Chains A and B, each alone.
Chain A
Amino acid sequence: AQKITQTQPGMFVQEKEAVTLDCTYDTSDQSYGLFWYKQPSSGEMIFLIYQGSYDEQNATEGRYSLNFQKARKSANLVISASQLGDSAMYFCAMRFLGDDKIIFGKGTRLHILP
């Protein structure tokens, strides 16, 4: 069955430290895309980063990078030099390129401590 697992319901991290949010997925498809979204307390969904299953390099966007390990079926989000404004809910999601369906993990709530 196709599934996304985020095992950390909540995390507390000191400001300026790097943080890794875990995401593992289960699929037998070869073609898929992986996303990370941020949802602050205000409720909006903000796209952070994307990784295609055939991309050889790990995706990076500013302070965000995606640690993609295809054999392990993991797509962890790394935030470098965390800031107070990074406190939010973070969702990992996958798009299946065969039928375009998208599934989300349950999310990880990240708290950045001053």
Chain B
Amino acid sequence: DSGVTQTPKHLITATGQRVTLRCSPRSGDLSVYWYQQSLDQGLQFLIQYYNGEERAKGNILERFSAQQFPDLHSELNLSSLELGDSALYFCASSEAPRQSEQYFGPGTRLTVT
């Protein structure tokens, strides 16, 4: 158990809908990262937050947004969902940016039908 929690574990929704994925980092970790893992695109870095501020942005679509709250939990919002958004979404945390070790959560499996 990495100490990073993600909810929900599974999510099934229809095209065009909007969902919110939630992540709680390990106690004491200020930095949160979001990743998407799909069969065709592999593992992709989406976005990083540090202490509430966006720090780095990867291949995140405009339909996706994220934020980190004062209690350090983070949410990833996915809207106007398409079939191709079906993937495993991971959250990871570290004490600070550029830490060598990131602790991954168990992931949220999103299925868009």
Q: Is the CB of B107 within 8 A of A104?
A: no
**Number of residue pairs across A and B with beta carbons under 8 Å?**
51
Q: Is the CB of B42 within 8 A of A50?
A: no
Q: Is the CB of A44 within 8 A of B98?
A: no
Task: Determine the chain A residues whose CB is within 8 A of the CB of B104 once the complex forms.
Answer: 37, 44-47
A97 to B100, CA, bound (A): 11
A95 to B58, CA, bound (A): 11
Question: What number of B residues sit within 8 Å (CB to CB) of A?
Answer: 23
A107 to B90, CA, bound (A): 16
| Chain B contact surface mostly | strand
Nearest CB of chain A from residue B31's CB, rounded to whole Å = 9
**Nearest 6 CB-CB pairs, A to B?**
A50-B100, A100-B56, A45-B104, A104-B43, A102-B45, A47-B101
A contacts, CB < 8 Å to B: 33, 35, 37, 43-47, 50, 52, 91, 93, 95, 97, 99-107
B contacts, CB < 8 Å to A: 2, 33, 42-45, 48, 55-58, 88, 90, 92, 97-98, 100-104, 106-107
